[in-house]
Amino acid sequence: MSVLQFFPLASPVQSARLHAVVLFNICDGYVRRPDQAGRVIGTLLGSVSNGVVEIKNSYAVPHNESADQVALDVDYHHSMYLSHLKVNPKEVIVGWFSTGLGVSGGSALIHDFYVKELKDAHSSVPPVHLTVDTSFMSGEACIKAYVSVNLTLGDKPLAAQFQEIPLDLRMIEAERIGFDILKTTTVDKLPGDLVGMEASMVRLYSLIDDIYKYVNDVVEGRLPPDNKIGRVLADTLASVPNISPAAFDKLLDDKVQDNVALIYLTSLIRTQLSAAEKLNTAAQTL
Amino acid sequence: MANTTMARSFLQAVSSTEEVTPPLRVVQIEGLAVLKIIKHCNEFLPALVTGQLLGLDVGSVLEVTNCFPFPIREEDEEIEADGANYQLEMMRCLREVNVDNNTVGWYQSTLLGSFQTVELIETFMNYQENIRRCVCIVYDPSRSAQGVLALKALKLTDSFMELYRNNNFIGEKLREKKLSWVDIFEEIPIKVSNSALVSAFMTELEPESPVKECDYDRLRLSTAPYMERNLEFLIDCMEDLSAEQNKFQYYYRNVSRQQAQQQAWLQKRRVENMARKAAGEEPLPEEDPANPIFKPLPEPSRVDSYLITNQISNYCNQINGVAAQSFNRLYLMKALHDD
C-alpha cells in the first residue's frame, strides 16, 4: 500500500524579511534585462536566525529559458558569489528570486539547483524563493516568499510544492532614508537638516491634532469610547517624565545655554579662520 | 585634396567639441545606489569603507546608476593584487547583466565628516588621470543617525588641481590665482532618481503608519555625544592648525633672517669694492651664488593648513546645524511639557 505523504512544515524557515535594497536591485535588474528575456532571476544573500531569513543582498544571474528547459549561468553565479563573500563573508546564499507573479514552470528546476547549492555549503536551511511581480499583473505590488516542500509517494518523490511563508516588508532602512526620496522618480534636492525637522514636526503636530479631536469626540459622546485606545493614550501621557516646573525650566535653560555657547564658539572660530586666511596669504613685505 | 581638408576639418571639429565639456552641475544618483552605499557603510561601522560608483557622464549631469563595494583593504601586496582582480571581475559580471560599467568615481564613509585629507586629494588625482570626470560621494553614518540623509558629492576644483599637480602650493601662486581654502572642494548638488517601477513599488509598500523611523531619529533629544565628539575633533584640528601656523612663522623668521644676512653681506662687499676701486683694482661681483645664504629657502606647502581649515569649517557647520535642530527639539519639548 502506498501512502501519499505530505510532510508537515517542520521547516527551519518560518518567515522572511526583505531589505529595501534587494527590491531595488531586482527592479533594476528587470529594467535592464536582455531583449527577449521574460523574467529575471538571481541569487539572494543574507542570513538566517531563529527561523527568520533576512534577505539583505542580491544579484541577478543571466539565464536562458525555453519551453521545457532552463539554463542558468552557473559560473557567473559562482564568481559573483565569491566576489560578494570577499566584501561580506557573513552574507551567504539564502535563496533565489524571480520576477513574475507566483511560481512558474521552470521554477522547480532552478529551485532544485539552489537546494543543491545550499546542501554543498552545509547549510541546514532550505532556500527561499522570492517572487516579485514587476508587471503588476494583479494590479498591486505582489511580493511573495516560498519554501518548497516535497510531496512523496512512499519513497518516490512526486512533486515539489511551494508553500508561501510570511514576508516582512517593513523596510526600516528605507524609512530611515525617507520614502519621500525613494518613492518619486526624481528628487531635485536632498532635504537638509531643517527641512526634515520641519516635516517631522508637521507630522507630530497633525498626530496630536488627531488625538485631540478623537478625545474630544469621545468626551462629547460622538464616538464610542474604546478602552484600548484610552489605555494607550494614558500610557503615552505617563511616559512624559514628571519634573517640577522649576527643575524643568532649569534643565531647558541649561541646554539652551549650551547650544547658544556652541553656536557662539563656532561663529568665533569661523571669524578667526577668515582673518587668519587674510593674514596668511597676504603678500609678505620684508 | 578637398577630401583630406574636409576630413581634417571634421576631425578638428570633433576634437574641438570634445575639448569643450560643460561643467559638472548635478550628480544624479539612483535610489538603488543610495541604498547600496548606505547598506555597505552602515554594515561595517565603525570601520570606514569605500566602493566604486558606476554610471554615465551625460553633458553637465553625472548619472550614478549603480555601485559596488570594495573589500576592506589590508596591507599586503598579494591581497592588493587580489583587490584589483576583484574589481575587474565585478565589473565584468555587472556588465553581463547590463549594468553601466563606466567608473564615474567612488564613495566612502566618513566619521563626523572628517574626510578632508591629503589621501582624498591623492585618490582624486589618481582617478582624474583615468577618467575625465569623477566625483566622490561621502556618506556620514553618524550624521544620518540624526535623521538626515548625509550624502555629499564632491570634486576638486580645476584651479586647485592645476596648482596641486604642479606642486605650486605656495603663497605667491595662491595669491595669483586667488585660491582660498573654500576653493579646494566643490560640492555638487545631488539629485535622486528612481525608475518608474521602483517608484510604483515603493508607493504601494509605503506603510500606513504616519510615524516613520526617521521621525524618531530626528526628534531624539540626546545630541550631547555627537556634539562632544564633534568638539573633540574640532579641538584636535585647532591644535593641528596652530602647529601649521608655527611652521609658517618659523619659515618667515628664517626668510627674514636670511635677508638680513644677505643685506649685511652686500654691505660688506660694497665697502670692499669701494676700497678696491680706490686701490684701482677690479670690483668683485655683487652676487655670490656659492654662498649658502643666497640659497632660497623652500616654502612649506599650504595644502595641509588649507585642508585643516576646511575641516574646521566643516565641524563648525555641523555643530551649528545640530545646535539649530536642538533648539527646535528643546522648544518642542517645552511646549509639550507646558501642556
Beta-bridge partners for A150:
A160
Residues B38, A177: C-beta atoms closer than 8 Å: yes
**Which residues in chain A are closer than 8 Å to B302, comparing Cβ atoms?**
280
Give the helix ranges, DSSP H, for chain B: 2-19, 31-43, 77-96, 118-130, 141-144, 158-165, 171-177, 196-205, 213-219, 224-278, 303-338
In a domain, B314, yes or no: yes
- Show the cell assigned to A235: 500610557
**Cβ–Cβ of B214/A175 closer than 8 Å?**
yes
> What is the pLDDT at residue A43?
92
Residues B120 and B259 in one domain: no
Substitution target in A131, A188, A259, A267 with the highest count of B β-carbons within 10 Å is A259
What pairs with residue B107 in β-bridges? B51, B137
The answer to whether the CB atoms of A21 and B312 lie below 8 A apart is no
Q: Which of A136, A197, A265 sits opposite B325 (nearest CB)?
A: A197
What Rg, from alpha-carbon coordinates, does chain B have?
28
How distant is the Cα of B68 from the closest Cα of chain A, in angstroms? 9
Is the same domain home to B28 and B141?
yes
Which domains are assigned to chain A?
A: 4-174 (3.40.140.10)
User: Lowest-pLDDT range, A14-18, A71-75, B143-147, B224-228?
Assistant: B143-147
Q: What span, in angstroms and rounded, lies between the C-alpha atoms of B113 and B119?
A: 15
Q: How far is A169 from chain B, CA to nearest CA, in Å?
A: 8
What mean pLDDT is predicted for residues A178-201? 76
H/E element, A161: strand A156-165
Q: Is residue B280 part of a domain?
A: no
CATH of the domain at B37: 3.40.140.10
DSSP per residue over B25-90, as a string? -EEEEEHHHHHHHHHHHHHTTTS--EEEEEEEEETTEEEEEEEEEPPPP-S-HHHHHHHHHHHHHH
Per-residue confidence (pLDDT) for residue B2, from 0 to 100:
46
Q: Cα torsion at B206, B208, B211, B217 (round to 10°)?
A: -20
Per the domain annotation, does B58 fall within a domain?
yes
A19, A175, A205: which to substitute to probe chain B, counting the most B Cβ within 10 Å?
A: A175
Q: How many domains would you assign to chain B? A: 2
Co-location of B303 and B267 in the same domain: yes
The shortest CB-CB distance from A141 to any of B43, B175, B204 is to B204
Residue B102 lies in a domain: yes
Between CA B14 and CA B279 the distance in angstroms is 73
Stretch A265-273: mean pLDDT, rounded?
88
Determine, for residues A256 and B327 on separate chains, whether the beta-carbon distance falls below 8 Å. yes
Q: pLDDT: is B302 or B327 the higher one?
A: B327
Judgement on whether residues B92 and B208 belong to the same structural domain of the protein: yes
Q: Do B106 and B145 share a structural domain? A: yes
**Has the ipTM of the complex gone over 0.85?**
no
Residue B41 lies in a domain: yes
User: For an interface test with A, which of B26, B194, B257 has the most A Cβ atoms less than 10 Å from its Cβ?
Assistant: B194
A135 close contact with B: CB closer than 8 A: no
Which chain B positions have a beta carbon within 8 Å of A256's beta carbon? 327, 330
Is B125 within 8 Å of B134 (Cβ atoms)?
no
pLDDT higher than threshold 70 for residue B204: yes
Average pLDDT over residues B101-112: 87
Strand partners, B69: B51
Q: Inter-chain contact A273–B34, Cβ cutoff 8 Å?
A: no
Chain B residues within an 8 Å CB radius of A135: none
Helix (H, G, I), strand (E, B) or coil at B190: strand
B3 is a domain residue: no
pLDDT tens-digit series, residues B252-281: 888 888 888 888 888 888 888 888 888 877
Contact with chain B for residue A266, Cβ under 8 A: yes
To the nearest whole number, what is the mean pLDDT of chain A? 81
Residue B35 has pLDDT above 50, yes or no: yes
Residue ranges of the alpha helices (H) in chain A? Answer: 20-31, 74-87, 107-120, 172-177, 179-183, 193-219, 227-238, 245-281
pLDDT tens digits along B43-91: 888 788 889 899 888 888 888 998 998 887 665 556 667 777 888 888 8
Q: What are phi and psi of B147, to 5 degrees?
A: 90, 20
pLDDT given at position B227 = 85
Confidence of residue B298 (pLDDT cuts 50, 70, 90): confident
Q: For A44-48, A154-158, B38-42, B84-88, which range has the lowest pLDDT when averaged over its residues?
A: A154-158
Same domain, B333 and B210: no
Distance CA A251, CA A238 (A): 20
Does A136 sit within 8 Å of B212, measured CB to CB?
A: no
Alpha carbon B226 to its chain centroid, in Å, reads 23
List the single residue in B with minimal CA-CA distance to A172: B213
Whether residues B124 and B207 share a domain: the answer is yes
Residues B68 and B100 in one domain: yes
Which chain A residue's Cα is nearest to B246? A280
Residue B117: name the closest of B143, B93, B138, B87 by CA.
Answer: B138
B241 and B152 within one domain: no
Query: Per the domain annotation, does B167 fall within a domain?
Result: no
Range of the structural domain that residue B194 is part of: 22-156+189-220
- B113 and B79 part of one domain: yes
Residue B268 shares a structural domain with residue B334: yes
**Is residue B201 domain-shared with residue B252, that is, in the same domain?**
no
Whether B166 maps to a domain, the answer reads no
